[in-house]
Amino acid sequence: MKPNIKVEDWGLINYIEGYGRQMKCVERVIQGAQDHLIFCEHPPVLTLGRMTNPQSLLYQRSEIEKRGVMISSVDRGGDVTLHAPGQQIVYPIFNLNNYGKDLKVYMEKLQEVAVDLLRNFDILAISIPGKRGVFVGEDKIISIGVGVRKWVTYHGLGINVNTDLSLFNLIKPCGLDVRMSSMQKLKGHAVPMENVKIKIAEQFQKHFWK
Amino acid sequence: MSKIILPELGEGISKATIACWHAKIGEDVVAGQEICEAVTDKASFVIEAPATGKLKSINVQEGQEGLVGGILGIIE
């Protein structure tokens, strides 16, 4: 791994607190600090991206919150998505001034990281033209949503490793009529998160830092 | 007068939707402040005010698409 990349694992962290830490990290990278690759998980929360259609929430807000799921509006592209324990969140805080200042290329590299990650676990995933995120068959397994400030990225990937998929019944994930899947569901057993994190770091090394 | 331009976002990206404006017409803005957000392909891009002054016009409203290189608003 390139020495100018800092990998941090924040463990289970409240979404709002995690967002605040992300923004501080973004500011540091804007000021010239090294790129960061952050791992974490969030307690159950629905995040509403900039393009959220209100109809993507299938229950009243009060009903959702009664089920212990927070709701938070966020400054990333895309519609609604869900984060919950067992879903590995990856926040690449990368200065795209060093990677060619091209959002499309960056998004495509994230897609490649996601597809190749799953291949490491013998899961054949695909990208579907016109749809961000990564799918196994027609089921979505990894969500992608990004924010960029002064060409420094934040937000990133939500990888369903051992996520409680029943929580996705609260929403139309990403505004799509799509079923969600997880590595656990496809493998038939829980997948050790530590192994996933190691493979994620390897894939970022391959696609971004080679 | 200073134009707020939708910048180049990457090869093949010719337009983006304005998700929100952080200033209203007539408000004072400062060069470098975050003034609006453009969204393309699940990426949200923060655009900054190019100059200090008053936001005179918003040419691309929230929810509308702007063209790369096009004028999103004017600061005077």
ipTM of the complex model: 0.89
Backbone angles phi and psi of A57, in degrees to 5 = -90, 120
The answer to whether the Cβ–Cβ distance between A107 and B43 falls below 8 Å is: yes
Crossing angle between the packed helical segments A103-120 and A193-208, to the nearest 10 degrees? 140
How do residues B26-68 score in pLDDT, each as one tens digit? Answer: 999 999 999 999 998 778 999 999 999 999 999 999 999 999 9
**Among A81, A97, A103, the residue to mutate for chain B (most B Cβ within 10 A):** A103
Sort out which chain B residues have CB atoms less than 8 A from A103's CB and list them.
Answer: 9-10, 13, 40-41, 43, 45
Q: How far is A189 from chain B (nearest CA, A)?
A: 31
Sort out which chain A residues have CB atoms less than 8 A from B20's CB and list them.
Answer: 50
Q: How far is A96 from chain B (nearest CA, A)?
A: 11
Query: pLDDT tens digits for chain A (210 residues)?
Result: 455 789 999 999 999 999 999 999 999 999 999 999 999 999 999 998 888 888 889 999 899 999 999 999 888 777 888 999 999 999 999 999 998 899 999 999 999 999 999 999 999 999 988 788 999 999 999 999 899 999 999 999 999 999 999 999 998 877 777 899 999 999 999 999 999 999 999 999 999 977
- The residue from A165, A174, A191, A196 that is catalytic is A174
B63 part of contact set with chain A, CB < 8 Å: no
**What is the DSSP secondary-structure string of A70-97?**
EEEE-SSSSSEEEE-TTEEEEEEE-BGG
